[in-house]
Amino acid sequence: MADETIAEVLEKRGFTRRAFLQLCATVTAALALSPADAAEMTRRLQSAPRPTVIYLSYQECTGCLESLTRSFSPGLASLIFNDISLAFNDTLQAAAGEAAESAKDTAMKKAWGKYLLIVDGSVPLPQNGAYCTVAGRSAISDLKHAAGGAAAVVAVGTCAAFGGLPYASPNPTGAVPVSDIVRDRPVINVSGCPPIAEVITGVIMYYTTFGLPALDRLRRPTNFYGNSIHDRCYRRPFYDRGLFAKTFDDEGARQGWCLFELGCKGPVTHNACPTMKWNGGTSFPIESGHPCLGCSEPGFWDKGGFYRPLSVPTGHWSRAGVIGGAAAAGAVTGLAVAAVARSRQDRAQKNRQSGTDKKNPKP
Amino acid sequence: MGPSDVVIPVYPVAGAPSNGMTVADALIQELAAALVTYLRTQRSHVIDLTCMPLSGEDKERLDAYLGLGETSMDIHALLRTRIEETRYAGVWRVRHYGPDDTVQSERIEVIDVPEIARASTADIGRSAQRLAAVKGEEGVWQTKP
Amino acid sequence: MNGASLLDFARGPGFEVAVAMLAFGVVWRLVGILALRRPVDHSEPRTGWGWVGGLRLVFSRSWPRREFRERVLHWDIISYLFHIGYAVAILGYVPHILVIRNLTGLRWPGLPGGVIAFFAGISAAALLALLGHRMSSPVLRRLSNFDDYFSWLAVFAPLVTGLMAYYNMGDSYQLVLGLHVLFGDLLLAWLPFGKIMHVILFAFSRATTGTVYGRRGAAL
């Protein structure tokens, strides 16, 4: 099974080579590869064995899988994902209970050392991982075992990549991202809440043909996470011209002005939303009139508020209280200092009058 | 035949604004150069428009420049693919559509026939087998008197 | 510390502490100075309108006297370029206005980013020229101490990091932005304790001098 190529899988299903070329064209388009790289990918895909993907879910909401399988044009995504490569996913498969667990073991054994492990969701550490168990096994031990046979691990979604919602303050379950646990295998973070479906499939295809993609500091593929939302945003000219929507229903909002004042985190968020867009290229949040939440960045839940502008101070301290309190303390200090200075002035004055000023003795 | 012998005139469409260089203009130049290269070396060239940040105006200009040629084809395989020759022989537009008719990939190819339109040797081989099998059975060929 | 946590700190606790230090320091120094005992001037006042001289000096000191003009006018102009550019960048840029609105509730319309970058660029160039002047002029060099150079840095650092953030220079935008906000915090916190306090004290010192001289009938 591991030696079967993608082209052969398509052939078996009765498609001609055209189907394979269509697949290549759409995948390279989604990856935004250069013409030379696209040609190279097509060449390599002909001989590349179809990838075995094992998809494990821990502390997650299944939104990532929803993004992947319920996208507007499920044809391609589901083809690559469900039909070609997916060997195990407990949410999508029909089997349940012990049958499901044995299916997982079989799939892992078959491709041990070669499969691509996709992890969705964060993993809690305390109490021996008791806050998240699947089939009586803690997520932490399950993940360690599965990662042992993986060629690489893809952390899908911000929970798996950076901890996400479970990790948000106060992190009651002690959740950690996958990269905190898997240290001896390459980890690719495909962050987002959820990630764009085409990005997930794109990363799988890229890995199948070229191996590990170039990663940024947060281990995200630079193909998709190389630019900030702000840099690719079609509303950027309005930011540069200083034109901002101030509420969700003012003239500026209607004119499509920049959403910075409404809390847009685009300047510090790296993702492919402005170029790849969502729902089969329909739009992305900013295009729909909502500021970017920054969902592909670590700790995006705890950035001081989704609707608070990026430049504005965070924290829930009382502005008047802190400034007033500091000013009052300043006044007290000032008065005390002045009192000391005054008494010194008085003493100097007295000394001068009595002629005992040693510094400036009277002639 | 040197490149200087090959003259492929590209006339801008009358009425189009000529204020500076647009993305469409740049693409036309690239295509003109690619045609010359193809004639000399048979090397095909592909421009992927899918992720190119083309404005509506750019797209209109490009459509107006390239126009529609004599040939068009539809492929119904895994996806639906529409192939259209432009006014310039050897310049093709290839669009792949998803199940919901959204464009999944859009490219301009400079080649005699787009690769995807050709029947591959492997597919022809399989066809030969299948046809032979049909012939071997009590197929249409033998029932005819 | 990475860019994200730096930015979180600079926008959060860092900013809070900086604003508290600003309020504390400004009030301390103002109260401390204003509550000092004024020396009694026993001389006969030449005029009863000494305070007019004080008011005049606040403005007249903003331009060099005729006698010195030839020697210092160009440095005054460069200094003005810095001050005006800095003020435009602080008060005209929308992200800055939002900070002020968050603190005070006040707001006003902002300027386009290109205009801000232009003024900030001029301001930065003028600051560099002024530093060069300070270090090369023998008199100014002797007059300068740590306060002068540290205050220069506290003013320059947010300006140059802000420009870097605007033009997306540097490895990570978040890191540059975090540094910008952090240096902004530093400027606010340092303002009352060094020579930058002149932004408030200049009016008081000029008015005091002007009043004393005005009372004595000196030419202002």
Query: What distance in Å separates residue A190's CA from the closest CA in chain C?
Result: 18
User: The pTM is what?
Assistant: 0.78
Q: Which residues pair with C207 in a beta bridge?
A: none
ipTM given for this complex: 0.82
Which of A42-51, A113-122, C205-214 comes out lowest in average pLDDT?
A42-51
- Cβ of A362: how many Cβ atoms within 10 Å? 7
Contact A200, A120 (CB under 8 A): no
pLDDT value of position A80 = 67
Give mean pLDDT, residues C187-212.
Answer: 92
pLDDT value of position A73 = 55
Q: What is the pLDDT of residues B81-139, one digit of tens each?
A: 999 999 999 999 999 987 778 788 899 999 999 989 999 898 899 899 989 988 776 55
Give mean pLDDT, residues C86-103.
Answer: 93
Contacts of A82 in chain B (CB under 8 A): none
Length of chain A (residues) = 363
Contacts of B46 in chain A (CB under 8 A): 35, 38-39
List strand residue ranges (DSSP E) for chain A, in order: 53-57, 86-89, 115-120, 123-124, 133-134, 137-138, 150-156, 175-176, 187-190
CA gap B16, B61 in Å, rounded: 8
Tokens coding C93: 């840029």
Contact A130, A137 (CB under 8 A): no
Q: Which residues pair with A244 in a beta bridge?
A: A258
Touch of A by C (3+ CB pairs closer than 8 Å): yes
pLDDT value of position B16 = 42
Residue B106 lies in a domain: yes
Q: What is the mean pLDDT of chain A?
A: 86
Contact C130, C82 (CB under 8 A): yes
Please give the residue of chain A at the shortest CA–CA distance from C111: A242
CA gap A348, A357 in Å, rounded: 7
Secondary structure of chain A: what % helix, strand, coil (to 5)?
A: 50, 15, 40
pLDDT value of position C71 = 85
Residue ranges in chain C assigned as alpha helix (H):
3-11, 13-34, 50-60, 66-92, 94-104, 113-136, 138-143, 146-166, 173-190, 198-216
Q: Check residue C49 and report its DSSP letter.
A: -
**Nearest neighbour of B48 by CB, restricted to A29, A72, A280:** A29
Specify the DSSP element, H or E, that contains B92: strand B91-97
Most confident of A65-79, C57-71, C173-187: C173-187
Residue C41 lies in a domain: no
Residue B145 lies in a domain: no
Give mean pLDDT, residues C155-164.
Answer: 95
Residue C174 lies in a domain: yes
CB contact under 8 A, C16 and A244: no
Contact B94, B86 (CB under 8 A): no
The answer to whether residue A226 neighbours chain B at the CB level (below 8 Å) is no
- Cβ of C111: how many Cβ atoms within 10 Å? 18
Number of folded domains in chain C? 1
Chains with ≥3 Cβ pairs under 8 A against C?
A
- pLDDT-derived band at A72 (thresholds 50, 70, 90) equals low
Show the domain range for B30: 3-140
Query: What distance in Å separates residue A343's CA from the closest CA in chain C?
Result: 9
- Looking at chain A, the whole-number percentage of residues with pLDDT higher than 70 is 93
pLDDT value of position A263 = 93
The answer to whether residue B59 neighbours chain A at the CB level (below 8 Å) is no
Question: Of C37, C111, C171, C179, which to mutate for an interface test with A (greatest number of A Cβ within 10 Å)?
Answer: C37
CB contact under 8 A, B48 and A38: yes
Contacts 24+ apart (CB under 8 A), A283-291: A286/A229, A286/A233, A286/A234, A286/A235, A286/A259, A287/A234, A289/A248, A289/A253, A289/A256, A289/A259, A290/A259, A291/A259, A291/A260, A291/A262, A291/A263, A291/A264, A291/A265, A291/A266
Show the domain range for C136: 3-32+47-216
CATH of the domain at B63: 3.30.1370.140
CATH of the domain at C76: 1.20.950.20
Query: What distance in Å separates residue C134's CA from the closest CA in chain A?
Result: 32
| Domains of chain A as residue ranges with CATH | 50-225 (3.40.50.700), 227-340 (4.10.480.10)
pLDDT for A213 beyond 80: yes
CA gap A107, A88 in Å, rounded: 7
**Nearest neighbour of B104 by CB, restricted to A10, A11, A76:** A76
3-state class (DSSP) for residue A76: helix
pLDDT value of position B6 = 41
DSSP conformation letters of B45-59? EEEE-TTS---HHHH
Question: Alpha carbon of B86 to those of A76, B67, B94: distances in Å?
Answer: 28, 5, 10
Query: What distance in Å separates residue A137's CA from the closest CA in chain C?
Result: 34
- pLDDT-derived band at A82 (thresholds 50, 70, 90) equals low
3-state class (DSSP) for residue A169: coil
- pLDDT-derived band at A83 (thresholds 50, 70, 90) equals low
Contacts of B103 in chain A (CB under 8 A): 281
CB contact under 8 A, A76 and B105: no
What single letter denotes the amino acid at residue A122? S
Residue B93 lies in a domain: yes
pLDDT for C169 beyond 70: yes
Residue B7 lies in a domain: yes
Residue B131 lies in a domain: yes
Q: What is the pLDDT of residues B21-67, one digit of tens each?
A: 677 888 999 999 999 999 999 999 988 887 676 777 888 889 999 99
The answer to whether residue A141 neighbours chain B at the CB level (below 8 Å) is no
Q: What is the pLDDT of residues C204-213, one digit of tens each?
A: 999 988 888 8
CB contact under 8 A, A304 and C21: no
pLDDT value of position B56 = 79
Q: What is the pLDDT of residues A289-315, one digit of tens each?
A: 999 999 999 989 988 889 999 888 887
CB contact under 8 A, B78 and A79: yes
Tokens coding A173: 């379950």
CA gap A301, A291 in Å, rounded: 14
Q: Which residues pair with A55 in a beta bridge?
A: A89, A118
pLDDT for C48 beyond 60: yes
- pLDDT-derived band at B79 (thresholds 50, 70, 90) equals confident
DSSP conformation letters of A240-260? HTT-B--STTSHHHHHT-B-G
CB contact under 8 A, A26 and B94: no
Residue B25 lies in a domain: yes
Give mean pLDDT, residues C162-177.
Answer: 87
Please give the residue of chain B at the shortest CA–CA distance from A16: B123
CA gap A98, C110 in Å, rounded: 64
CA gap C30, C20 in Å, rounded: 15
Residue B56 lies in a domain: yes
pLDDT value of position B143 = 47
Query: What distance in Å separates residue C60's CA from the closest CA in chain A?
Result: 30
Q: Which residue has the higher pLDDT, A23 or A269?
A: A269
Tokens coding A72: 């507007």
Number of folded domains in chain B? 1
CB contact under 8 A, A304 and C94: no
Residue B92 lies in a domain: yes
